[in-house]
Structure 1
Amino acid sequence: MENYQIRSKVHPKQRVAVLLKEDYENGNLTYGTVDEILTKTDTHYRGIKVRIKPENETEEEKEIRKTNPDYRLVGRIKVFLPKVK
């Protein structure tokens, strides 16, 4: 089992790449930091579901988020990213 499938390996403020539900077909990953862990079980075979604070958010996405705070924030972890120095 990979680390991203184990809940105890995921921590708030950890940098991750997640696969969002709307990106399942194209496989695009979204990068950000873990804000909230949503998966309640200890493990999940598709990855732990989290809410993230996205990195490099576009102005358009910032405007959308003002009216819909949950826009593009929930996905399953696919990769842990190194800490920024």
Structure 2
Amino acid sequence: MDGKNRKDIKPGLRVNIVLKKDQRTGTLTEGIVARLLTKSPTHPHGIKVRLEDGQVGRVKEILPE
């Protein structure tokens, strides 16, 4: 599942995000969502989240549990 819909993402989910510094390369960073930062219900590049380790990026995929 991609991370473009806010309703699909909740704190505690394991996701792959793209950090700001990795946007050119598309390198994914795996982590657990601590907080949703995007307020709108959808975003074409992915919902912005903060991971539990403090990193911020846009969700590219939601990983299965």
Higher relative contact order (CA 8 A, sep 6+): 2
**Bigger helix fraction:** 1
Partners of 2:3 and 2:26 in 1: CA distance: 16
Partners of 2:29 and 2:2 in 1: CA distance: 18
Moved >4 Å (runs of 4+):
none
Question: Number of residue pairs matched?
Answer: 65
Give me the TM-score of the superposition, normalised by structure 2: 0.91
**Aligned residues: CA RMSD:** 1.4
User: Which residue in 1 is equivalent to 2:51?
Assistant: 52
**Bigger strand fraction:** 2
Letter in 2 for 1:79: E
- Structure (1 or 2) with the larger CA radius of gyration: 1
Unaligned runs of 5+ in 1: 55-69
**Identity, % of aligned positions:** 43
Give me the TM-score of the superposition, normalised by structure 1: 0.71
> Alpha-carbon deviations, 1:1-34, whole Å to 9, x = none?
x741110110000000000000011111000000
Unaligned runs of 5+ in 2: none
